[in-house]
Amino acid sequence: MRALLLAVALLAGCGKVADPRPPSIRIPEPLRDLSASQNSRDIVLAWTNPLHNIDNSLALDPAIVHITENGTPISAVPATGPGKSQSVVIPVGNSTGNLQTFSVWIETKRGKLSDVATVTMTPVETPGAVRELRAVVDQYEIQLSWLPPADHPEFANGYFVRRTDRDSGPVLTNQTSLRDNSYDRDKVYTYEVLSARQADTSWIPGERLRLCKCRPSIARRRKLPQGCRLSSRRMARMSPGRPTTSWIWPAIACFATASR
């Protein structure tokens, strides 16, 4: 009787063995949003690193992003992490006017590779930097003016003007001047003017500027920044409520120097 009860107890403690499950496939999903754009003389590749593997498990160990251009390896950069955005800047070089094919894939710390994502684009020639950028305060407004770029001026279809203290985006104009009537007296402002080429419905920025910062009120007491010099032009500070200036101050003319 005791043996029978022991056998019953053993049978009651046994459950059905689960069906075997296949091993997890820890291969990252391919990039879903790979894009290519042009910024002056650079091509910008951008994407979001995969958050999951192909078996829907979390992609916890992306390590290296491999990039080829027309089949030739050009870069292998550390991955920023699963689900995070990432970008790489590639010089246009001599590829202007030629179709370029970029392939990108992820390698994990365990050496597993994602499928390859591909994007194509044809870089175009872009205008150079604007010349002789000037700012004059007159008639309750800041008057900006500049000359078209010396390098490929035929591609300068417009200009982006940005005041660095504003969070809003730049203003687009097809003129070589702009007026700004929103400013405070005794405050220094910095402007950036960028030539741009229109390609279909998008705008491609031209060569960027490096602008010097000048403080007219202390110009005679300290060494001038490189790229600036005293101007013979007299510029006026406005007094509230008066249509003309109450006094005159010596200005510094800032000249933009081009940098890639």
The tens digit of pLDDT for each residue in 208-249 reads: 765 544 333 333 333 444 444 433 333 333 333 333 222 222
126 vs 155: CA distance, rounded Å: 6
Let me know if the fold of 35-121 is the same as that of 131-258.
yes
- Domain at 131-258, CATH from 2.60.40.10, 3.40.50.300, 3.20.20.20, 3.50.50.60: 2.60.40.10
Which uninterrupted H or E stretch holds 3? helix 2-12
Percent of the chain with pLDDT over 70: 70
Phi-psi region of 93 (alpha: psi -120 to 50; beta: other; left: phi over 0): left
Report yes or no: 234 and 184 within 8 Å, Cβ to Cβ.
Answer: no
Report yes or no: 48 and 29 within 8 Å, Cβ to Cβ.
Answer: no
Tracing tokens 């046994």 back to the chain, one arrives at: 14
Q: Give the amino acid at 49.
A: N
Report yes or no: 160 and 172 within 8 Å, Cβ to Cβ.
Answer: yes
Q: Give the amino acid at 80.
A: T
User: Model-level pTM?
Assistant: 0.69
Structure token pair of residue 212: 């010097």
Q: Helix count (H) and strand count (E) of the chain? A: 1, 18
pLDDT tens per residue, range 44-97 = 999 999 999 999 999 999 999 999 999 999 999 999 999 999 999 999 999 999
Which uninterrupted H or E stretch holds 6? helix 2-12
Every domain of the chain and the residues it spans: 35-121, 131-258
Strands of the 62-69 sheet, one edge to the other: 72-78, 62-69, 100-108, 117-121
For the chain, percent helix, then strand, then coil, each to nearest 5?
A: 5, 45, 50
Rg of the chain over CA atoms, in angstroms? 31
**What class is the 35-121 domain?**
mainly beta
Q: What is the DSSP letter of 222?
A: S
Kindly state the average pLDDT of the residues 190-194. Answer: 89
Structure token pair of residue 143: 């008057």
User: 42 pairs with which residues across the strands?
Assistant: 39, 91
pLDDT of residue 168: 87
